[in-house]
């Protein structure tokens, strides 16, 4: 069974290890993209019983006319996932795909192949595409916001039919024409789990209708605010589409022996050593989304992006981090993807100090040998 469907109340995963990580920072201890880094962190998470390792997809770095910028050094998610799947035993392995950059026939066969390599542990994170410079590199238009989801819906429909149908089929939609569509071999799973991060009203409806794991950026620091955000998502899925979905988020982990030291390190890597060139470029890409924001909100948004792509902050002692994860779980979050600046030390500290607390709280079962 895919571990994403397991019994742990709070599932855990790694995020962004096919590149330099989620943080836009220049601290010396930050990782660079490498296969050794990807492999050892995935194996560490696998041994610890984590449910997921999720890569991100990026085709070009954020700063304009800077082809060598490290933010663009990101390994292809599908081939990366195949390698991770072959090198691990039980962790769920994702690929992330921007629909405008990969034809659905190609994506369907790649996904099925990784699923077979993993023995049925694969999942697919689907993205409609938002980064105009990247899409221009492919000669693909940046469609109007809602139309991106119409395109993504067709893309995913073709893929799911290729995974499941045994006879050739024709498909004629607004965006894709498939004549005699077929794909073999089929995936190991009857239904490969789909993740999508829909934040807008249209995006939320897409994810609620089509995804099994709805990925959100948590917008509140308190339990009531998080619960409302999660409940709204799950209500749409249940009431409008008759579906039950998981809701996942991603986090930035800074674990230290005391709160002051953790907050000082957060400031060190996300403010003092901010990759300003990359963050400025990302802010420009957000365009109209940021122009009307009050300065204090803009500053907070900037630091959270520099710290880890807007991830929920888990900053403090092991006890504090465990308590904040328990709060997320009580509020309805089903899974948390974890990021660090130094993943090696971070995973080791988390597994030693935080994981036993989550087990004691009943959020996770103790790890057994695979």
For residue 33, give Cα distances in angstroms to 39, 71, 73, 316. 11, 9, 6, 27
Closest CA to 16 of 44, 46, 37: 37
Higher pLDDT, 60 or 148: 148
- pLDDT score for 14: 98
Distance (Å, whole) CA 234 – CA 237: 5
pLDDT band at 287 (very low <50, low <70, confident <90, very high): low
Q: Give the pLDDT mean for 189-213.
A: 95
Strand 169-172 versus strand 177-181 pairing type? antiparallel
Higher pLDDT, 34 or 65: 34
pLDDT at 62 over 90: no
pLDDT band at 6 (very low <50, low <70, confident <90, very high): very high
- pLDDT score for 137: 85
* DSSP states along 230-286: HHHHHHIIIIIH----EEEEEEEEEE-SSHHHHHHHHHIIIIITB-HHHHHHHHHHH
- pLDDT score for 198: 87
At 240-259, the pLDDT tens digits run: 999 999 999 999 999 999 99
- pLDDT score for 288: 46
Composition of the chain by helix, strand, coil, percent to 5: 50, 15, 35
Q: Give the pLDDT mean for 84-96.
A: 98
pLDDT band at 49 (very low <50, low <70, confident <90, very high): very high
Higher pLDDT, 305 or 98: 98
Q: Give the pLDDT mean for 290-312.
A: 75
- pLDDT score for 358: 98
Q: Give the pLDDT mean for 15-29.
A: 92
Distance (Å, whole) CA 109 – CA 115: 10
Higher pLDDT, 279 or 82: 82
- pLDDT score for 187: 98
Closest CA to 194 of 283, 276, 99: 99
Distance (Å, whole) CA 236 – CA 259: 38
For residue 103, give Cα distances in angstroms to 40, 138, 158. 31, 12, 10
* Contact between 54 and 293 (Cβ < 8 Å): no
- pLDDT score for 370: 64
pLDDT band at 294 (very low <50, low <70, confident <90, very high): low
- pLDDT score for 291: 53
Main-chain phi, psi angles of 122, to 5 degrees:
-85, 150
pLDDT at 334 over 70: yes
Closest CA to 35 of 72, 90, 85, 84: 84
**CB-side neighbour CA atoms (13 Å) of 72:** 16
Q: Give the pLDDT mean for 2-15.
A: 97
Q: Give the pLDDT mean for 294-323.
A: 86
Higher pLDDT, 161 or 289: 161
- pLDDT score for 306: 87
Higher pLDDT, 230 or 198: 230
Q: Give the pLDDT mean for 303-309.
A: 84
Eight-class DSSP state of 365: P
Q: Which residues contact 103 (CB under 8 A, 6 or more apart)?
A: none
Q: Give the pLDDT mean for 213-229.
A: 94
* DSSP states along 22-34: S--B--TT-----
For residue 337, give Cα distances in angstroms to 84, 156, 248. 17, 24, 8
At 225-235, the pLDDT tens digits run: 999 999 999 99
- pLDDT score for 369: 66
- Helices H / strands E in the chain, number of each: 15, 11
* Contact between 250 and 96 (Cβ < 8 Å): no
pLDDT at 147 over 50: yes
CA angle 181, 186, 191 (to 5 degrees): 105
pLDDT at 267 over 80: yes
- The residues with which 181 forms a beta bridge, in sequence order, are 169
pLDDT band at 131 (very low <50, low <70, confident <90, very high): confident
């Amino acid at each position: 069974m895919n571990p994403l469907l397991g019994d742990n109340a709070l599932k855990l995963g790694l995020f962004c290890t096919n590149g330099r990580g989620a943080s836009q920072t220049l601290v010396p201890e930050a990782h660079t993209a490498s296969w050794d880094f990807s492999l050892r962190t995935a194996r560490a998470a696998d041994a610890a019983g984590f449910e997921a390792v999720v890569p991100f997809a990026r085709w070009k770095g954020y700063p304009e006319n800077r082809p060598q910028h490290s933010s663009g050094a990101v390994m292809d998610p599908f081939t990366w996932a195949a390698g991770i799947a072959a090198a691990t035993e039980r962790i769920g392995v994702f690929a992330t795909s921007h629909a405008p950059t990969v034809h659905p026939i190609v994506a369907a066969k790649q996904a099925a192949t990784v699923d077979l390599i993993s023995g049925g542990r694969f999942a697919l994170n689907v993205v409609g595409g938002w980064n105009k410079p990247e899409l221009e590199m492919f000669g693909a238009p940046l469609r109007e916001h809602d139309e991106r989801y119409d395109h993504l819906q067709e893309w995913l429909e073709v893929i799911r039919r290729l995974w499941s149908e045994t006879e050739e089929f024709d498909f004629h939609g607004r965006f894709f024409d498939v004549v005699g569509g077929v794909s073999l071999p089929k995936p190991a799973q009857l239904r490969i789990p789909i993740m999508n991060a829909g934040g807008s009203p249209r995006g939320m409806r897409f994810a609620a209708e089509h995804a099994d794991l709805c990925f959100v950026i948590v917008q509140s620091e308190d339990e009531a605010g998080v619960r409302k955000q999660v409940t709204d998502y799950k209500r749409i899925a249940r009431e409008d589409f008759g579906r039950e979905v998981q809701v996942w988020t991603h986090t930035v982990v800074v674990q230290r022996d005391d709160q002051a030291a953790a907050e000082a390190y957060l400031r060190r890597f996300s403010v003092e050593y901010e990759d300003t060139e990359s963050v400025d470029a990302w802010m420009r890409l957000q365009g109209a989304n940021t122009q009307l924001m009050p300065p204090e909100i803009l500053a907070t948004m900037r630091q959270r992006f520099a710290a880890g792509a807007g991830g929920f902050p888990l900053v403090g002692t092991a006890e504090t981090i465990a308590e904040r994860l328990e709060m997320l779980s009580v509020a309805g979050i089903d899974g948390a993807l974890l990021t660090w600046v130094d993943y090696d030390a971070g995973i080791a500290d988390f597994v030693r100090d935080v994981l036993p607390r989550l087990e004691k709280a009943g959020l996770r079962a103790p790890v057994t040998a695979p």
